[in-house]
Amino acid sequence: LHSCVFKNVSSISKTEKKCFIEEIPDETMVIGKYRTQLWDKQTGSFLPATPGLGMHVEIKDPDTKIILSRQYGSDGRFTFTSHTPGEHQICLHSNSTKMALFAGGKLRVHLDIQVGEHTNNYPEIAAKDKLTELQLRARQLLDQVEQIQKEQNYQRYREERFRMTSESTNQRVLWWSIAQTVILIITGIWQMKHLKSFFEAKKLV
């Protein structure tokens, strides 16, 4: 499901990189928001991270091309637009050199990813463009229709790729079967000739 709000809470170590996979159609805006918490040994719970903590966000498209690589603070917001349909990899890791912050060695990341029309702030749009409630609702419906069209195009793209993969696999299986048959025939002919030569040498035929 692409036109959605994806939320995740994950605990990572101080050197671990945590990655999330999101399937996104092309030309679709994505907004990610995150906040971090550090493990506190004294209280035995996660507490809000200090502003000095640095988090690095790296995003790769389906062709593993980096489309965003940037350092943020303990809380951050990143935005990008997909240009290639498929699985996008969103990775977060801490690059803070302040090891004292990691006394407990654990970091909790709350990640909220908004995709498609969910990235639009409709109250802000209504105030900016002075839209009535009916006009705003029409705008929302148009955005949803546009996103559904992108979804359908993406599903057709996936279907085409799956069909090409299936055809390629079937072709390889066919050629492998033919190769096995040819090898068996050649081996059989060689064995018959070898046996004939053996029997002739023993003067059995």
Q: Can you give the residue ranges of every domain in the chain?
A: 4-120
In this predicted structure, the answer to whether residue 79 has a pLDDT above a threshold of 70 is: yes
- Collapsing DSSP to helix, strand or coil, 173 comes out as helix
Distance CA 74, CA 76 (A): 7
Tokens representing residue 59 in the block: 């995003």
Three-state DSSP state, 16: coil
Closest-CA residue to 116 (of 33, 26, 17)? 26
pLDDT in tens, 28-41: 888 888 888 887 77
Q: In this predicted model, what pLDDT tens digit does every residue of 134-169 receive, in sequence order?
A: 887 887 788 778 878 888 888 888 888 888 888 888
- The predicted structure's pLDDT at residue 14: 59
Quick one: pLDDT at residue 60?
A: 92
CATH of domain 4-120: 2.60.120.380
List the alpha helices (DSSP H) in the chain: 122-129, 133-201
| Residue 197 reports pLDDT greater than 60 | yes
56 and 93 Cβ atoms separated by less than 8 Å: yes
Phi, psi of 64 (to 5 degrees): 60, 20
| Cα atoms in the 13 Å half-sphere on the side-chain side of 80 | 23
Decide: helix, strand or coil at residue 117: helix
CA–CA distance, 126 with 92 (Å, rounded to integer)? 34
Helix (H) or strand (E) holding 7: strand 5-13
| The pLDDT of residue 5 is above 60 | no
- The model scores a pTM over 0.85: no
Position with higher pLDDT, 96 vs 121: 121
